[in-house]
Chains A and B, each alone.
Chain A
Amino acid sequence: MDVRSGEREPVIELKGLTKMYGEHAAVNRLDLTIGRGEVFGLLGPNGAGKTTTILMMLGLTEPTSGSARVLGLDPTRSPLQIKRRVGYMPDDIGFYEDRTAIDNLIYTARLNRIPPAEAEARARELLERVGLAEAADKRVGAFSRGMRQRLGLADVLIKKPEIIILDEPTLGIDPEGVRELLELITRLSREERITVLLSSHHLHQVQQVCDRVGLFVKGRLIACGDIESLSKQLDEDGTITVELELEAWPDALDEALNGLGGVVSVRRGEGGKASVICSSDLTADIAQAAVGCGGRLLAVSRRKYGLDDIYHRYFEGGEAHGA
């Protein structure tokens, strides 16, 4: 797969990265390049190998073969330099529950060799920015899920990283919280020119904020690019879906549709709804056939590919594409 990051200077480069757990390949010959200042979404179902990939970038686990370069450094050889410049927020992030929010942040800051006075100033400022200023001196044990995620973001930012890696940052937060969090992430990445790598299985959220997405299935990156080019890729695959809605479904219509050259299959929905998959654009012919058979046509539309369809298509065909 051709993966380009445009004109930007690459900060993450993965080449043929593979991680085997026994016989099972969690990540399989992954090639990926991410440029500076980019917001990249790593999209895939649970167990696709997203977290493993992230762990390999940080040197938290060793690749079986292949190489990774983060900021020009090798994670297995110099994990410390990378960790100094890369912030990582694990999924299901944990804090010291019996300590206050500010204590937790200062601890992280001091582990990064930031002197105590500066650490406190930075922690207060960041809590302000993520909207937790009032809760700064409350114990983390009393925080809600959304507050924890925001605190996690502050925790990641306190070392002033060049790259932040967020593993499932939106997991378990309500829709409004998700919107706020994503807004916060994009704003931060623009203001500070931070490269953001975001993993998620929620495509709509990824669609909102990412410059580019990579689709990840069973350890393989099966598609990569911005949303537009991904949907074009799908179109070129040669199948088009036309959605049809009639008041009632005339019996003759099945035959009429199958009689049209180029119709691959007809999927009947409830009542008069159906989707017709065809190898070329037959929208007009299908409408005509429906009217010709005496049906009262309510709606006909050619489906545009959103990320949803891309996701479905690739995940359904993941195995075929992967093989």
Chain B
Amino acid sequence: MALDGKAILGRLTRRAGRRDGAEDTGAREAQGAAISPFWVIVQKEFGDHIRSWRFTILLAIITLACIGSIYSAVSAIRGGALKDELDFLFLQMFTISDGTLPNFITFVSFLGPLMGIALGFDAVNSERNRGTLSRLMSQPIYRDDFILAKFTASLLLVTVVIFALGLLVMGLGLFTIGYPPTPEEFWRVFFFLVLAVVYVGFWLNLSILFSIRFRQAATSALSSIALWIFFTVFYGLILNLIARAIAPSSDAAVQRILNYQETMLWLNRLSPAELFSEATTTLLTPNVRTLGPFTLEQVYLAIKSPLPLGQSLLLIWPHATGLIAATVICFGISYVMFMRQEIRSRS
């Protein structure tokens, strides 16, 4: 996997080097071959992550979880859990389980944020505490390049890990069920993996934000984890309370019930975890035709058939946009905070 990463990185850096060389209007023409400081930081951070114990442990947990989920999915398929739904058998590798262990998407949506947080929670404050930040900031680099490089390096690593795991699951699936994916299934899995990277990217950026805000790495890690637990556990509970309070009676007008449903859905979608889970369900279960409430009238005469890939993508477009927007907002806040901070040694 490290090799994969380095190859990607090498290509990226070469490309960036060329682009930068063209842009950098001749301040140091003799050194046109030197790559921009941004990619130097990315390279170093990437190397640091790969060599760190933290990453090794995390990778071990996630790999084990994924192997477990495949085992559970395969035994479910063997046990005849499918019956009539033989469409998209390959995608079921990711979505079903025999009940002993959660399925692949549950693992990704649960452990992904943890990986993002683990890679980002001490990005800036550890440099500050080690006294390297002030040394770094006295080099000719832009401040925003520094946090952007930290983010890029970690995101690159996340991309490598998620794609490696996803392809691993696909490969193992091929072995065990002996049923090849159709191109559409392949692309669905591909977009699911891209979405997972975006989702982890959000948590990564959030933890970088906390690492700028809080001087102690422990505080920043705890706040990130607190927020993560809040969205995965408590947010649902709170919504249930609200739902009970504002629910209309069962004999209320259709419009009122619809309004109520829409409100609840809207509140629910404030949580990035919910956005991600809706989007992955849509992608990996093509039979999902709509995400909002619908009346019997709308279902009447509808043909029960899976959605084509394009339509599924259209359905989750707002979700993807929402997740990316949340990431960008976090980055914007980090940027403003970091630009205004005074960099002194170890304080």
Chain A interface residues toward B at CB < 8 A: 51, 55, 58, 60-61, 80-81, 83-84, 86-97, 107-108, 110-116, 155, 159, 167
* Docked complex Cα distance between A86 and B33 (Å): 23
Cβ–Cβ contact B44 & A93, under 8 A: no
For the residues of B in contact with A, the DSSP-based class is loop
Cβ–Cβ contact A111 & B139, under 8 A: yes
Q: Which residues of A contact B139 (CB under 8 A)?
A: 83, 108, 111-112, 159
Is B142 among interface residues, defined by CB-CB distance under 8 A? yes
**Residue-wise interface mask of B (333-347) relative to A, using a CB-CB cutoff of 8 A (1 in contact, 0 not):** 000000000111110
**Mind listing 14 A-B residue pairs with CB under 8 Å?**
A55-B343, A83-B139, A84-B140, A92-B131, A94-B130, A96-B48, A96-B130, A107-B40, A111-B41, A111-B141, A113-B36, A114-B31, A114-B34, A115-B33
* Docked complex Cα distance between A232 and B87 (Å): 97
* Docked complex Cα distance between A86 and B134 (Å): 14
B contacts with A, residue count (CB < 8 A): 29
Return the contact of A60 from the options B34, B41, B343 (Cβ within 8 A).
B343
A-B residue pairs, 10 tightest by C-beta: A94-B131, A88-B138, A90-B345, A113-B34, A83-B140, A84-B140, A90-B134, A111-B139, A94-B130, A94-B132
Q: Which residues of B contact A90 (CB under 8 A)?
A: 131, 134-135, 138, 344-345
* Docked complex Cα distance between A112 and B130 (Å): 21
Cβ–Cβ contact B342 & A115, under 8 A: no
Q: Which residues of A contact B131 (CB under 8 A)?
A: 90, 92-94
Cβ–Cβ contact A93 & B135, under 8 A: yes
Q: Which residues of A contact B28 (CB under 8 A)?
A: 113
* Docked complex Cα distance between A110 and B43 (Å): 11
Q: Which residues of A contact B37 (CB under 8 A)?
A: 110-113
Return the contact of A113 from the options B31, B41, B48, B345 (Cβ within 8 A).
B31
Contacts A60-B342, A107-B44, A111-B41 given: A80-B135 contact, CB under 8 Å? no
Please give 18 more A-B residue pairs, beta carbons under 8 A apart, in addition to A111-B140, A159-B139: A55-B343, A88-B138, A90-B138, A93-B131, A93-B135, A94-B131, A94-B132, A94-B346, A96-B132, A97-B130, A110-B37, A110-B40, A111-B141, A113-B28, A113-B31, A113-B36, A115-B34, A155-B135
Closest residue on chain B to residue A21 by CB atoms: B342
Return the contact of A51 from the options B132, B136, B142, B344 (Cβ within 8 A).
B344
Q: Which residues of B contact A94 (CB under 8 A)?
A: 130-135, 345-346
Contacts A60-B137, A80-B142, A90-B134 given: A110-B342 contact, CB under 8 Å? no
Return the contact of A55 from the options B41, B44, B342 (Cβ within 8 A).
B342
Q: Which residues of B contact A93 (CB under 8 A)?
A: 131, 135, 345
Q: Which residues of B contact A115 (CB under 8 A)?
A: 31, 33-34
Closest residue on chain A to residue B346 by CB atoms: A92
Closest residue on chain A to residue B141 by CB atoms: A111
* Docked complex Cα distance between A182 and B253 (Å): 86
Give the distance to chain A from B66, nearest Cβ to Cβ, in Å.
29
Q: Which residues of B contact A111 (CB under 8 A)?
A: 37, 40-41, 136, 139-141
Cβ–Cβ contact A61 & B136, under 8 A: no
Q: Which residues of A contact B31 (CB under 8 A)?
A: 113-115
